C-alpha cells in the first residue's frame, strides 16, 4: 500500500510546474497579441491623422491598396500620396525605432546591472550623434553613398561604447556605479563636441541639421531609409533574444556567471557591438531620443517579470506603440510646427519614472 500511496501523490506534484509554465506562456502570448493589435491600430490611426485628417477606414483602404497593388480613383491620388509616401514611412520608422530603443534598454540594464542605464545615459546615443553629424558636415565616408551617415553614426556609437567600457573597467571587473558615472561624463563630453561643431558649422542649414540630431525627429523619414533600420533592429533583437538566459545570469553578477560557465567579458563585447550597431543606425535616421530605453524596460518587467526571454519579446512591441504615439503628438500638438521627440519623451518619461521609482524603491536604492 505505501508504494501505491506514493505513486498517487507524485503526478500532481510533477504536473504543477508544467501547468504553471503553460499558463505563463499563455499569458505572454495574450500580452503580445494585445500589443500587436494595439500596434496595428496605432499605425492606422497615426497614418491617418495630420493637417489633413483621414478616417481610419479610408486610411486602411489606401494602405491595403498600396500593399496589394489595388486601384484607387484618380481624384484620390493626392490623398494616397500623403498616406503612402509621406506618413506611412514616418510612422513605420517610429515603430521600428521605438522597438529598438526598448530592447537596447533591456540589454544594457542587464549588462551593467544598473536600473538607470540606457544608451542615452551611457553616452552611446551622443557618440552616434557626433559621428552622424561629423560625416554630414565634413562629407566624410562619401564612398558609402546614402549609407555614409549610418556608418558614421555606428562608428560614433561603437567608439563611445568602447571608451565607456574601457574607462569603467578596473582589473577586469565592471562596476555599475563607475559605468554610469563614466557614461554621464562621456555624454557631456560628446555634447561639448556637438557644441563645437555647431559653433564651427559653415551655415545656418548645417546648424539646424545638428540641432535636429540632438533633439530627435522622424521628419526626414523615407522608404529608402527603412530597410537598413529594419534589418539592423531585427538582427539586434535576434542577437539579444538568443542571449536572454545569458542576460539573466549576467544580471546576477560576474562571479555567478563565471561559475555557470559564461565568460562575462566576451558576452559583453558581443552584445555591445550589437547595441552599437542598432543605436548607430537608429540615431542616423531619428537623432538621439532619451527616456525610451530607460523607462520602457521597467514598465514591461512589471508585467512580464524579470526573465529576459519574456521581456525581450514584449518590450519591442510596447516601445513601438509608445513611439508611434509620441511621433503623432510631436506633429499634431503645435501643428504646423513639430515638437522635438526628446521633449515629449522627457515630459512623459520623467513623471512615469518618478512614480515607478516610488513604487519599486528597492530597485533604485530605497528599502
pLDDT tens digits, 28-84: 888 999 999 999 999 999 999 888 888 999 999 999 988 888 888 888 888 889 999
How many helices (DSSP H) and strands (DSSP E) are in the chain? Answer: 15, 2
Question: pLDDT tier at 159 (50, 70, 90 boundaries)?
Answer: confident
Distance CA 207, CA 175 (A): 38
pTM of the model: 0.84
Distances (CA, A) of 229 to 61, 167, 174, 279: 26, 30, 30, 10
Are the CB atoms for 229 and 153 separated by under 8 Å? Answer: no
Per-residue pLDDT at 320 exceeds 80:
yes
The CATH number for 95-362, chosen from 1.10.3210.10, 1.10.357.10, 1.10.3470.10, 3.40.50.970, is 1.10.3470.10
What is the 8-class DSSP label of residue 84? I
Distance CA 110, CA 120 (A): 16
Distance CA 295, CA 362 (A): 16
Residues 218-227, mean pLDDT to the nearest whole number: 85
Residues 10-38, mean pLDDT to the nearest whole number: 68
Least confident of 174-178, 181-185, 322-326, 353-357: 174-178
pLDDT of residue 2: 44
pLDDT of residue 11: 44
Average pLDDT of every residue of the chain? 82
pLDDT of residue 360: 65
pLDDT of residue 343: 86
pLDDT of residue 153: 80
Residues 226-248, mean pLDDT to the nearest whole number: 90
pLDDT of residue 171: 66
Bridge partners (DSSP) listed for residue 40? none
Least confident of 96-100, 171-175, 329-333: 171-175
Distance CA 252, CA 245 (A): 11
Are the CB atoms for 209 and 268 separated by under 8 Å? Answer: no
Domain boundaries, the chain: 95-362
Strand residue runs (E) in the chain = 169-170, 173-174
Distances (CA, A) of 6 to 1, 3, 11, 17, 177: 9, 5, 10, 19, 52
Distance CA 105, CA 32 (A): 19
Per-residue pLDDT at 8 exceeds 60:
no
Amino acid at each position: 500500500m505505501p508504494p501505491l500511496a506514493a505513486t498517487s501523490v507524485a503526478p500532481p506534484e510533477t504536473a504543477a510546474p508544467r501547468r504553471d509554465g503553460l499558463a505563463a506562456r499563455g499569458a505572454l502570448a495574450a500580452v503580445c497579441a494585445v500589443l500587436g493589435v494595439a500596434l496595428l491600430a496605432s499605425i492606422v490611426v497615426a497614418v491617418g491623422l495630420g493637417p489633413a485628417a483621414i478616417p481610419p477606414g479610408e486610411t486602411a483602404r489606401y494602405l491595403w491598396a498600396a500593399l496589394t497593388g489595388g486601384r484607387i480613383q484618380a481624384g484620390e491620388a493626392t490623398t494616397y500620396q500623403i498616406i503612402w509616401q509621406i506618413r506611412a514611412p514616418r510612422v513605420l520608422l517610429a515603430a521600428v525605432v521605438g522597438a529598438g530603443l526598448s530592447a537596447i534598454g533591456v540589454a544594457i540594464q542587464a549588462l551593467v546591472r544598473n536600473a538607470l542605464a540606457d544608451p542615452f545615459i551611457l553616452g552611446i546615443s551622443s557618440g552616434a550623434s557626433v559621428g552622424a553629424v561629423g560625416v554630414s558636415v565634413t562629407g566624410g565616408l562619401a564612398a558609402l553613398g546614402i549609407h555614409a551617415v549610418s556608418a558614421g553614426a555606428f562608428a560614433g556609437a561603437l567608439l563611445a561604447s568602447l571608451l565607456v567600457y574601457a574607462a569603467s573597467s578596473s582589473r577586469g571587473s565592471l562596476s555599475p556605479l563607475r559605468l554610469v558615472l563614466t557614461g554621464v561624463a562621456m555624454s557631456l563630453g560628446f555634447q561639448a563636441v556637438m557644441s563645437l561643431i555647431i559653433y564651427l558649422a559653415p551655415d545656418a542649414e548645417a546648424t539646424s541639421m545638428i540641432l535636429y540630431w540632438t533633439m530627435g525627429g522622424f521628419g526626414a523619414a523615407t522608404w529608402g531609409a527603412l530597410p537598413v533600420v529594419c534589418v539592423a533592429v531585427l538582427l539586434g533583437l535576434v542577437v539579444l533574444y538568443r542571449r536572454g538566459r545569458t542576460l539573466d545570469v549576467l544580471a546576477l553578477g560576474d562571479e555567478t556567471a563565471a561559475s555557470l560557465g559564461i565568460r562575462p567579458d566576451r558576452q559583453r563585447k558581443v552584445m555591445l557591438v550589437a547595441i552599437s550597431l542598432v543605436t548607430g543606425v537608429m540615431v542616423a535616421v531619428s537623432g538621439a531620443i532619451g527616456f525610451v530605453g530607460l523607462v520602457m524596460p521597467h514598465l514591461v518587467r512589471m508585467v512580464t517579470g524579470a526573465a529576459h526571454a519574456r521581456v525581450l519579446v514584449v518590450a519591442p512591441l510596447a516601445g513601438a506603440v509608445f513611439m508611434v504615439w509620441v511621433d503623432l503628438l510631436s506633429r499634431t500638438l503645435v501643428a504646423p510646427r513639430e515638437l522635438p521627440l526628446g521633449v515629449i519623451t522627457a515630459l512623459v518619461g520623467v513623471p512615469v519614472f518618478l512614480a515607478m521609482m516610488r513604487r519599486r524603491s528597492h530597485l533604485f536604492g530605497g528599502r
